[in-house]
Amino acid sequence: MLVEEKDILKDRLKEIFGYSQFRGNQERIIRNLLDGKNTFVIMPTGAGKSLCYQLPAMINDGLAIVISPLIALMKNQVDQMNAYGVNARFMNSTLSKGEITRLKKDCMNGIVKLLYVAPESLNKEETIDFLKKVNVSFVAIDEAHCISEWGHDFRPEYRRIKSMIQILGNMPVIALTATATPKVQLDIQKNLQMEDADVFMSSFNRKNLYYEVRPKKETKKQLIKFLKDNKGKSGIVYCLSRKKVEEIAQLLNVNGFKAAPYHAGLDPDVRMKNQDDFLNEETDIIVATIAFGMGIDKPDVRFVVHYDVPKSLEGYYQETGRSGRDGLEGHCLMFYSHNDLSKLEKFNKDKPVQERENSRILLQEMEYYAESPVCRRRQLLHYFGEEFTEENCGMCDNCVHPRERFEGSDYVHLVLQTVKKTNQRFTLSHLVNVIRGVEDEYVKSYGHFDLDVYGKGSNEDQDFWKSVIRQTLIYQFLEKDIDNIGALRLTSRGEAFLKNPESIELARDHDFTTEIEEEEESAERVPTNTKSYDVKLFEMLKTLRKKIAKEKNLPPYVIFQDPSLEEMATTYPTTKDEMAQVNGVGMGKVNKFGKEFLEVIERYVEENDIETASDVVVKSSVNKSKTKIAIIQQIDRKVDLEEIAETTRLSFEELLTEIENICYSGTKLNLNYYIDQVLDPHKQDDIHDYFMRSESDSLEHALKDDSIADYSEEEIRLMRIKFMSEYAN
Ligand code: ADP
Ligand code: ZN
């Protein structure tokens, strides 16, 4: 029976949204909600939260209510739902009396499946009276972090949601958020009285985002160069002040970029137009204060630049999270300087003491992040309570250009000893003072100069020790006390290390005063994706999409998203059925928008004499060509082969065979990201040399050759693919 239900969910997913697979926790979340249970979802931006309530809304009888903070977001989502043929509507202050009356009627008649409501509207008595008469299936609370006072985006009206829901009766609640440190999470659950809820926490790892921090020197020049390298792509440049926004937007326009400013000080019409132009691809770059972005659901933002240092890592993570929502490339570049930090501190000086202290701690985390030599991904995940254990993520500046390393065992040991001997009750700066033998007030009053660790690390300076302790935290030998901000204590891993120290590699912090030259040229060495789809057709489809979007007055991605267009430019569908097979499409969309796309593809295929999907189908089954595409797309995104094997339900061996087929049929595949993980450079050279010399690419011959006798079949096959891709394709 379980299996059957699963298939129904999948069928509906395909039928309505055109997706053939759930992502991450989606299916478990949806089942939990359909079982009538309270559900708490923590999932990073772009991972697919909306689907977790949109699909159940379609399956359940009655009307699902979605509480969502921003009007822009509501309209956006309603447009998208309507494009899928789902009857979704919104209720907020922009509607006229007549529109509200009609909306209410439709809800009561059961025509509407999803109703987006602003919290302000929900707080009105007439809204509640009306909703009491409707059959409500469940309530979804989007952007649930707005409930928490500890969060960076607190909205008082959110704190009253629970009492409103209670008036409506007893129904399941699903709360969703993309940022929540463990503390904020607890606060949300308490306020919604859903401590009993099932919590679904997804990984915060956004694998397709590249994180980079550069010193803020000659920033304008650096920015222009970066944008030139990314010409024609969609992106956001965040600045701290309105003035800066205006200045940079102008600078970009003068330099030939299509850029527009966005900030709260602009005339609402202008602001709206600039935002729409960005969504509609009339403008490539939006230069904005952080007022921009909440609720902007543009999936193909290719870069996010922080021209100024953000106020918190939560903010930074949210803002960078707006890039690459479609799973493709997203470059996150921050310009960093101490000066920015001091500026931000000054802004805080008029705040009440507690708030000022909170802000100061957030800024300090920002500073650690920027200057740290540790993998950016690892640090961000650590901040959100998740451990990332890969040695090298390959997608951040610290991993691609590693800092100088040194053996850190003795240093870590001294730190842990000091924590233990001061009874695990002190903050980082006090520990540094004890280690370095600096006799300040605290050291005196606690008598810490009597400890045998006192002054043992006096040879190194303060910054060095701070860096060591922060790395000790990130590697989880120490942890911060959640109730007692700043106090460090040993984890079990730390205890084990104290008894049995082992070798550990540490790295030197960035020094943001001296390394400008070195960092500047690094821009060119960022890994870029090689394209495996038909770029020309893709561009044509994009142009068509833009035209249709304009006619229908919709953002382009509502029609088809980039990954769908890429797939079309890989499989060349020429019939409605073939097009409905494309991920993210589905028959509803084909009927709505498909016709002109099919025409363009058909003409293109004819003019260029291309083998189409239907030709391919003759040779292999539909499923097989689907698998191929899935493999190509995932390799493009640098997904590990083990993971691809899993998602395509192939054994590793079968996957290699598929990849070989793809490669031998002329598609260039770049497997370097994977091969570099599993094969030393010198091993790669050995096999490469063999194929260079060898008469044929026969595996049989290769396995018998003495010069590479030590290598496994798998290794040889991987290198053969690399070799073929580089030379033959
Ligand atoms: P979030 O609200 O978590 O930021 P969204 O709900 O906007 O993310 O989803 C991000 C993108 O992922 C959207 O473009 C959406 O269409 C797409 N998406 C969601 N679920 C799936 C799925 N199961 N398969 C493929 N794409 C999906
Ligand atoms: Zn990294």
Tell me how far apart the alpha carbons of residues 716 and 729 are, in angstroms, rounded to a whole number: 19
Is the model's pLDDT at 684 over the cut of 80?
A: yes
From the CB of 614, is ligand 1 less than 6 Å away? no
The 3-class SS string of 592-654 reads HHHHHHHHHHHHHHHHHCCCCHHHHHHHCCHHHHHHHHHHHHHHHCCCCHHHHHHHCCCCHHH
The string of DSSP letters for 212-243 reads EEEE-SSHHHHHHHHHHHTTT-EEEEE-SSHH
Q: Whose CA is nearest to atom 17 of ligand 1?
A: 48
| Ligand 2 centroid distance, CA of 377 (Å) | 5
pLDDT at res. 237 = 97
Whether the CB of 557 sits within 6 Å of ligand 1: no
- What pLDDT was estimated at residue 316? 94
CB count within 10 Å of CB 528 equals 12
270-304: pLDDT as tens digits? 998 999 899 889 999 999 998 777 666 788 999 99
Query: CB within 8 A of 137, min separation 6: which ones?
Result: 56, 57, 60, 61, 62, 63, 64, 171
Closest ligand by atom to 18 CA: 1
Pick the closest to residue 208 from 5, 1, 45 (CA basis).
45
Q: Which helix (H) or strand (E) holds 652?
A: helix 652-664
- 371-393 confidence digits (pLDDT tens): 888 899 999 998 888 889 888 99
- The Cα–Cα gap between 213 and 207 comes to 17
Residues 326, 315 contacting (CB under 8 angstroms): no
- Domains annotated on the chain, with CATH: 6-201 (3.40.50.300), 209-399 (3.40.50.300), 406-507 (1.10.10.10), 535-616 (1.10.150.80), 626-727 (1.10.10.1390)
Is any atom of ligand 1 closer than 6 Å to the C-beta of 47? yes
Are 42 and 202 in contact, with CB atoms under 8 Å apart?
Answer: yes
| Distance between CA atoms of residues 84 and 81, nearest Å | 5
Which of ligand 1's atoms lies nearest the C-alpha of 43? 3
Angle in degrees, 0-180, between the axes of helices 562-571 and 622-636, rounded to the nearest 10? 130
Mutate to test the pocket of ligand 1, among 13, 15, 19, 77 (most ligand atoms within 8 A of CB): 19
User: Atom 13 in ligand 1: which residue has the minimum CA distance?
Assistant: 48
- Cβ of 579 closer than 6 Å to ligand 1, yes or no, is no
Is 14 near ligand 1, meaning CB less than 6 Å away?
no
Confidence grade of residue 199 (pLDDT, cut at 50, 70, 90):
very high
Statement: residue 521 has pLDDT above 60? no
45 CA: nearest ligand 1 atom: 4
Residue scoring higher pLDDT (636 or 111): 111
Find out whether 300 and 546 touch, Cβ atoms under 8 Å. no
Q: 395 alpha carbon to ligand 2 midpoint, in Å? A: 5
Q: State the Cα angle at 352 between 347 and 355, rounded to 5°.
A: 75
> What is the distance between the alpha carbons of residues 64 and 139, in angstroms, rounded to a whole number?
6
> How far, in Å, from the CA of 142 to the mean position of ligand 1?
14
Among the bound ligands, the one closest to the CA of 322: 1
Q: Whose CA is nearest to atom 2 of ligand 1?
A: 49
Does pLDDT of 250 surpass 50? yes
Ligand showing the shortest atom-to-Cα distance for residue 178:
1
Phi-psi region of 305 (alpha: psi -120 to 50; beta: other; left: phi over 0): beta
SS3 label, residue 369: helix
508: pLDDT strictly greater than 60: yes
Res. 720 pLDDT band, cuts 50 70 90:
confident
- Ligand 1 site, residue 23, Cβ cutoff 6 A: yes
| Top-confidence residue, 499 or 588 | 499
51 lines ligand 1 (CB under 6 A): yes
For residue 634, what are its two tokens?
């995932």
Highest mean pLDDT out of 144-148, 225-229, 580-584:
225-229
Q: Which residues, 6+ apart, have CB-to-CB distance to 261 below 8 Å?
A: 245, 246, 249, 274, 286, 287, 288
CB-ligand 1 contact for 297 (6 Å cutoff): yes
Cβ-based burial of 423 (10 A; exposed 0-12, middle 13-18, buried ≥19): exposed
Q: Compute the distance from residue 26 Cα to the ligand 1 centre, in Å.
A: 10
Mean pLDDT of the chain: 85
Pick the more confident residue, 158 or 492: 492
Question: Is residue 567 within 6 Å of ligand 1 at its C-beta?
Answer: no
Least confident among 457-461, 552-556, 631-635: 552-556
Contacts of 332 (CB under 8 A, 6+ apart): 209, 210, 211, 212, 303, 304, 306, 320, 323
CA distance 467 to 444: 24
Instruction: Identify which of 288-302, 315-329, 636-650 has the greatest average pLDDT.
Output: 315-329
Ligand 1 near 562 CB (within 6 A) = no
Q: 471, 506 in Cβ contact below 8 A?
A: yes
